[in-house]
Amino acid sequence: MAEEVLVFGAWGSPFSRRVEMALKLKGIEYKYIEEDLTNKSPSLLKYNPVHKKIPVLVHNGKPVAESLVILEYIDETWKDHPILPKDPYERANARFWAKFIDEKCLSAIFKACWGACWGEEKEHEKAEIEHEKAVKEVSELLQFLENELKEKRYFGGETVGLLDIAANTIGYWLGVFEEASGVELLTREKFSKLCNWANEFVCVTAIKENLPPRDKLIAYFRNRFGAGNASK
Amino acid sequence: MAKNDVKVLGAWPSTFVMRPRIALNIKSVNYEFLEETFGSKSELLLQSNPVHKKIPVLIHGDKPICESMIIVEYIDEVWTSGPSILPSDPYDRAIQRFWAAYVDEKWFAAMRGLRIAQGEERKAFLDQVTEGLALLEEAFGKCSKGKAFFGGDRIGLLDIAFGSLLGWLRVTEKVGKVKLLDEAKTPGLVKWAESFCADAAVKSIMPETEKLIEFSKLLMAQMKGAPPPKN
Q: What pLDDT shows up at residue B214?
A: 94
8 Å CB contact between A19 and A78: no
Number of Cβ atoms within 10 Å of the Cβ of A155? 25
pLDDT at A224: 84
Would you call A64 an interface residue with chain B, using a CB distance cutoff of 8 Å? yes
d(CA A120, nearest CA chain B) in Å: 30
- Nearest by CB: A62 against B77, B91, B102: B91
Task: Provide the Cα torsion B9, B10, B16, B19; round to 10°.
Answer: 60
pLDDT (tens digit per residue) in B21-33? 999 999 999 999 9
Question: B228: pLDDT confidence band, cut at 50, 70 and 90?
Answer: low
Looking at residue B47, its pLDDT comes to 97
Note the Cα B77 to chain centre separation in Å: 19
- Closest CA of chain A from B77, distance in Å: 6
The per-residue pLDDT of chain A, averaged, comes to 93
Q: Residue B94: which of A64, A95, A96 has the nearest Cβ?
A: A64
Q: Does A92 touch chain B (CB under 8 A)?
A: yes
Q: Chain B partners of A62 at a C-beta cutoff of 8 Å?
A: 91
Confirm or reject contact between B23 and chain A (CB < 8 A). no
Tens of pLDDT, residues A139-184: 999 999 999 999 999 999 999 999 999 999 999 999 999 999 999 9
Does B96 score more than 90 pLDDT?
yes
Residue A27 pLDDT > 50: yes
| CB-based contact B91 A69, cutoff 8 Å | no
CA A199, A205, A207, A213 torsion: positive or negative? positive
> Does A88 sit within 8 Å of B94, measured CB to CB?
no
pTM comes to 0.94
Say if residue B94's pLDDT is above 90: yes
- Is pLDDT of B227 > 90? no
Q: Which ranges of chain A does DSSP label H, i.e. alpha helix?
A: 14-25, 42-47, 67-77, 88-100, 106-110, 121-149, 162-166, 168, 174-181, 192-201, 205-208, 214-225
Greatest Cα-to-Cα distance within chain A, rounded to the nearest angstrom: 68
Contacts of B95 in chain A (CB under 8 A): 64
At A115 the pLDDT is 78
CA A87, CA A108: separation in Å to the nearest integer?
31
How does A108-135 read in b/e, with b if 16+ C-beta sit within 10 Å? bbbbbbbbbeeeeeeeeeebeebbeebb
DSSP characters for chain B?
Answer: --GGGEEEEE-TT-HHHHHHHHHHHHTT---EEEEPPTT---HHHHHH-TTT--S-EEEETTEEEESHHHHHHHHHHH-TTS--SS-SSHHHHHHHHHHHHHIIIIIHHHHHHHHH--HHHHHHHHHHHHHHHHHHHHHHHHHHTTSSBTTBSS--HHHHHHHTTHHHHHHHHHHTT---S-TTT-HHHHHHHHHHHHSHHHHTTSPPHHHHHHHHHHHHHHHHHSPPPP-
Total Cβ atoms within 10 A of residue B70: 20
Q: A89 contacts in B (CB within 8 Å)?
A: 60, 63, 65, 74
The ipTM value here is 0.94
For residue A130, the SS3 value is: helix
How much is the pLDDT for B99? Answer: 98
Quick check: B67 and A96 CB within 8 A? yes
Contact A92 B101 (CB under 8 A): no
Q: Is A76 on the interface with B (CB under 8 A)?
A: yes
pLDDT of residue A149: 96
Across the range A196-206, mean pLDDT stands at: 97
pLDDT > 70 fraction of chain A, expressed in percent and rounded: 94
pLDDT tens-digit readout, B123-158: 999 999 999 999 999 999 999 999 999 999 999 999
User: What is residue A175's three-state secondary structure?
Assistant: helix
A73 confidence band (pLDDT: 50, 70, 90): very high
Cα A26 to Cα A34, A182, B22: the distances in Å are: 21, 36, 36
Size of interface A-B (CB pairs under 8 A): 54
**pLDDT reported for residue B226:** 59
- pLDDT given for residue A232 in this prediction: 41
**How far apart, in whole angstroms, are the C-alpha atoms of residue B193 and residue B174?**
16
pLDDT confidence tier of residue B57, bands split at 50, 70 and 90: very high
Whole-number Å distance between alpha carbons of A220 and B40:
45
Residue among B68, B76, B95, B98 with most chain A CBs within 10 A, to mutate: B98
Task: Find chain B residues with C-beta within 8 A of A65's C-beta.
Answer: 98
In Å, how far is A12's CA from the nearest CA of chain B?
Answer: 23
Considering CB atoms only, which of A59, A76, A92 is closest to B74? A92
Residue A72, Cα to own-chain centre: how many angstroms? 16
Closest CA–CA distance from residue A92 to any residue of chain B (Å): 6
Which residues in chain B touch residue A70, judged by CB atoms under 8 angstroms apart?
Answer: 94
Q: Is A144 touching B (CB cutoff 8 A)?
A: yes
Q: Which residue of B has its CA nearest to A147?
A: B51
> How far off is chain A from B138, nearest CA to CA, in Å?
12
Contact B71 A100 (CB under 8 A): no
Three-state SS for A200-219 is: HHCCCHHHHCCCCCHHHHHH
Chain B nearest CA to A25, separation (Å): 19
Select from B51, B78, B98 the Cβ nearest to the Cβ of A66: B98
Q: Sorting pLDDT into bands at 50, 70 and 90, what band is A2?
A: confident
